[in-house]
Structure formats: C-alpha cells, structure tokens
C-alpha cells in the first residue's frame, strides 16, 4: 500500500474517532443536564460519562455553558433552516410568523427542561465557540423576522416606513417572551396552545404596524 492511501486511511480513522467522541460528549452532557440540572452537572462528570479525558472535552467546548449550547446547536440550526424555508411572499405577516416559529416551539417543547436551561444561560452570554454559534442562529431568526416585515410592507399590509428592521426585532422579542412563558408553565402546554398565545400577542403588535404613521 502506497503512502497516500495509508495517510488517507489514518486521516479517515482520526475523523471517525473525533466524531465518535463528539457524539459521546454531546449525549453525556444532554443526559446529565436533564437529570441533574445545569448547576449540579459538572464537566468532570460529563467527561467520565462520555469516556473521555477532561482535556479532550474542552477541545469541543470552552466551558460548561458551551457544552449546553453544544447539545442543542446542530438541531437548532436545522430548525432555523425549516423556519426560513417556511417563508412565503403570498401570505399574511401573521401566517409567516406562526409558520416560522412553529418549528421552534416543537423543538423547545420536545425537552422543556433542557430548553429552559438553554434559554436561561444564553442571556448576556456570548463567549465560547458554541455560544457564539447559538447567538448566530438566533440572529438568523431575527433577520428572518425583518424579512417577513419587509415583505408585508411591500404587500401594503403594514405601514412602517424604513423601520421594518426594528419592527422585526420587536416581533422576535415578543416570541422570546411568549416561549419563555410557555415553557415556564407548571403543566406542560401543547405546541398549539403556545402558538395561539403567541399569535394573540403578535396580532396586537401587527395591528399597530398596520396604522399609517408619520415616521
């Protein structure tokens, strides 16, 4: 066997080993965060459960918060892509918003305990590769809201002048408030219940955007 095939085979094994470690770390972190909570789970416990050295764990995440974001980021990116794909230029603003936010409600509602931890820890926190990735995904959703507002303005559904970007940020902020309230409910609510409450709040904002104003 010549040198190049051998080197390629070794590189392939290294990559497979790396992916296996990442999977084990992610699975271990998910289980311990859900079982023990964020504050009680430790990076050492996660490393032991994953079967890796503590130093190896920190190659994949800078700290415990970064591990929490590592657990959700891949799936959340897929959800953000689904939300983007739901955008249509021929429907009302509220229909676009609910279609975009539905995948997020389904995602966060799947494991509400983990979701509550993630949403709590992301406030004012941007250090670490995985945390920055999480923030990037959130920004993608904000930009999507801005685009939905822009489309609604082009369709003469709303009157907001050149402030559609700010309006998009406000609509996303409403979503953030409503999904936290939904996840904090004592009894686990359904996705449909959460979306109905979200739609009611969004409609109030949209009603204000629909009025012609001097801007």
Residue-wise pLDDT tens digits, 35-61: 998 999 999 999 999 999 999 999 999
- pTM score, two decimals? 0.85
Is the pLDDT confidence value at 199 over 80? yes
Please give the sequence-ordered ranges of beta strands (E in DSSP) within 48-100, or none if there are none.
Answer: none
**CA distances in angstroms from 51 to 29, 55, 73, listed in the order given:** 12, 12, 22
Contacts by 155-160, CB closer than 8 A, 24 or more apart: 155/89, 157/92, 157/93, 157/210, 158/93, 158/206, 158/209, 158/210, 159/209, 159/210, 159/211, 159/212, 159/213, 160/209, 160/213, 160/215
pLDDT in tens, 68-91: 999 999 999 999 999 999 999 999
Q: Is the pLDDT of residue 12 over 90?
A: no
């Amino acid at each position: 066997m010549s040198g190049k095939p051998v080197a390629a085979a070794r590189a392939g094994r290294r990559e497979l080993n790396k992916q296996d470690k990442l999977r084990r770390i992610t699975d271990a972190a998910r289980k311990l965060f859900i079982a023990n909570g964020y504050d009680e789970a430790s990076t050492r416990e996660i490393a032991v459960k994953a079967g890796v050295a503590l130093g190896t764990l920190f190659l994949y995440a800078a700290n415990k918060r970064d591990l929490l974001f590592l657990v959700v980021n891949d799936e959340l990116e897929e959800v953000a892509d689904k939300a983007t794909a739901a955008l249509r230029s021929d429907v009302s603003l509220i229909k676009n918003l609910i279609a975009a936010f539905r995948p997020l409600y389904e995602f966060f509602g799947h494991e509400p305990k983990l979701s509550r931890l993630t949403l709590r820890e992301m406030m004012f926190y941007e250090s670490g590769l995985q945390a920055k990735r999480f923030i990037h995904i959130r920004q993608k959703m904000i930009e999507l809201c801005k685009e939905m507002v822009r489309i609604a303005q082009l369709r003469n559904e709303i009157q907001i002048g050149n402030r559609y970007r700010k309006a998009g940020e406000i609509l996303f902020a409403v979503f953030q408030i409503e999904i936290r309230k939904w996840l904090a409910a004592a009894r686990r609510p359904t996705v449909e219940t959460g979306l109905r409450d979200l739609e009611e709040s969004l409609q109030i904002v949209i009603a204000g955007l629909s009025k012609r104003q001097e801007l």
